[in-house]
């Protein structure tokens, strides 16, 4: 096999691949590592646990973690007040959090992008109406808005996803709109229209690809917000409902026992913090990589 192509690469025209840039960026690679770690535990949860997350061991209530004096090796991070294995519940909990984050980002990204594209491209009255709605959504603190939605629809995972999605829409709409406003002044838009392309063709095939970079960054950052908000809703009793193994529920279960079993409260929070931190690091890193104008 000839390797002509690789010989042509000189220092001047060498452009590292996207993946290479990510692995060279310290923050982004740490973030990606954390995300992959939780993704793997979520996907292969049954292979990592030695207990079913719902099984109640009546003889092993509130067993401390393995490094404590009374710890048992079979319950690595201890058990909760009902005698359920905390590590198994954490691993299964990563499924719920990643699932919620994923659906929230898909939903709010699709809706938010559409609104932003229309608003930025067409301007005028439709722009004003859309931006007013976005302003109204933004004038509610995220948890309060989610509470309103849950009040109307009732608590549960599906409704929590819906509530948190609404909260995340404005971020996408604003970022897409501002990109479109810049891009539509450029000449390629006029050229596309001069060729007789319909506004929708110009908008989706010519302008939209330029919004992708900021969208990916925003997607990663709203993934972290979604996980945080969904866990908060569950903690408040408005999101996922017990006995599902979910990090926010585990924390609210732990609250009455912070004196007798503090380990019940520590590990679920560490998981939330790590996963949220992972997405924030990854998003910040992507912003550095995709937008060279921003100097750190």
Partner 1 sequence: MSKKLFIKFLDVIPTAIGISLIAFLLIRLIPGDPVMLLLGERGSDPIVYEKMKVSLGLDLPWYEQYWSFITKAFSGDFGTSIISKNSVWEEFKTLFPATLELGIVALFFALTIGIPLGIVAAIKRNSFLDYLFMTGSLVGYSMPIFWWGLILIIVFSVNLGLTPVSGRISVLYDIEPLTGFMLIDSLQKEVIEEEGFSAFISALKHLILPSIAMGTIPLAVIARMTRSSLLEVLKEDYIRTAKSKGLSPFYVICKHALRNALVPITTVIGLMFGSIITGAILTETIFSWPGIGKWILDAVNGRDYPVIQGGVLFIGFIVVTINLTVDILYSIINPKMR
Binding site for partner 1 (CB under 8 A): 132-133, 135-136, 138-144, 147-148, 150-154, 224, 228, 231-232, 235-238, 248, 251, 254-255, 258-259, 262, 265-266, 268-269, 272-273, 276-277, 280-281, 284
Instruction: Dump the DSSP string for the chain.
Output: ---HHHHH--TTT----HHHHHHHSHHHHHHHHHHHHHHHHHHTHHHH-SS-TT---TT-TTPPPTTSTT--TTSTT-B-TT--BHHHHHHHHHHHHHHHHHHHHHHHHHHHHHHHHHHHHH-HHHHHHHHHHHHHHHTS-HHHHHHHHHHHH-SSHHHHHHHHHHHHHHHHHHHHHHHHHHHTTSHHHHHHHHTT--HHHIIIIIIGGGGHHHHHHHHHHHHHHHHHHHHHHHHTTSSS-TTS--HHHHHHHHGGGTTT-THHHHHHHHHHHHHHHHHHHHHHHHHHHH-TTS--
Closest distance to partner 1 from the beta carbon of 183 (Å): 25
Identify which of residues 9 and 258 has a Cβ nearer to partner 1 in the complex.
258
CA distance 101 to 162: 11
Identify which of residues 201 and 255 has a Cβ nearer to partner 1 in the complex.
255
Identify which of residues 192 and 222 has a Cβ nearer to partner 1 in the complex.
222
Closest distance to partner 1 from the beta carbon of 101 (Å): 13
Closest distance to partner 1 from the beta carbon of 48 (Å): 23
Identify which of residues 165 and 280 has a Cβ nearer to partner 1 in the complex.
280
CA distance 230 to 246: 10
Closest distance to partner 1 from the beta carbon of 290 (Å): 18
Identify which of residues 97 and 202 has a Cβ nearer to partner 1 in the complex.
97
Closest distance to partner 1 from the beta carbon of 168 (Å): 14
Closest distance to partner 1 from the beta carbon of 128 (Å): 9
Closest distance to partner 1 from the beta carbon of 84 (Å): 19
- CA dihedral over 216, 218, 221, 226, signed as positive or negative: negative
Closest distance to partner 1 from the beta carbon of 220 (Å): 12
- CA dihedral over 139, 141, 144, 148, signed as positive or negative: positive
Identify which of residues 171 and 189 has a Cβ nearer to partner 1 in the complex.
171
Smallest CA-to-CA distance from 116 within 188, 57, 181, 45 is with: 181
Dihedrals phi, psi of 252, to nearest 5 degrees: -70, -30
Identify which of residues 54 and 269 has a Cβ nearer to partner 1 in the complex.
269
Identify which of residues 175 and 203 has a Cβ nearer to partner 1 in the complex.
175
């Amino acid at each position: 096999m000839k390797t002509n192509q690789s010989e042509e690469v000189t220092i001047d025209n060498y452009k590292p691949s996207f993946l290479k840039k990510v692995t060279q960026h310290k923050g982004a690679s740490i973030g990606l590592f954390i995300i992959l770690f939780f993704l793997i535990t979520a996907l292969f949860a049954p292979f990592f646990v030695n207990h079913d997350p719902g099984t109640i061991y009546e003889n092993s209530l509130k067993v401390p973690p393995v490094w404590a004096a009374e710890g048992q090796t079979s319950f690595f991070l201890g058990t909760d007040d009902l005698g359920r294995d905390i590590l198994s519940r954490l691993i299964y909990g990563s499924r719920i959090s990643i699932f919620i984050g994923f659906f929230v980002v898909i939903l709010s990204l699709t809706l938010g992008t559409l609104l932003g594209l229309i608003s930025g491209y067409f301007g005028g009255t439709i722009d004003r109406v859309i931006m007013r709605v976005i302003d109204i959504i933004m004038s509610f603190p995220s948890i309060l808005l989610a509470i309103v939605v849950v009040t109307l629809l009732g608590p549960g995972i599906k409704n929590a996803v819906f509530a948190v999605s609404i909260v995340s829409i404005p971020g996408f709409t604003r970022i897409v709109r501002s990109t479109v406003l810049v891009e539509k002044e450029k000449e390629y838009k006029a050229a596309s229209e001069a060729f007789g392309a319909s506004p929708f063709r110009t908008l989706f095939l010519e302008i939209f690809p330029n919004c992708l970079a900021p969208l990916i960054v925003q997607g990663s950052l709203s993934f972290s917000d979604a996980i945080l908000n969904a866990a908060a809703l569950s903690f408040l009793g408005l999101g996922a409902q017990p006995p599902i193994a979910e990090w926010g529920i585990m924390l609210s279960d732990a609250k009455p026992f912070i004196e007798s079993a503090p380990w019940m409260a520590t590990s679920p929070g560490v998981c939330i913090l790590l996963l949220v931190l992972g997405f924030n690091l990854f998003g910040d890193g992507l912003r550095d990589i995709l937008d060279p104008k921003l100097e750190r």
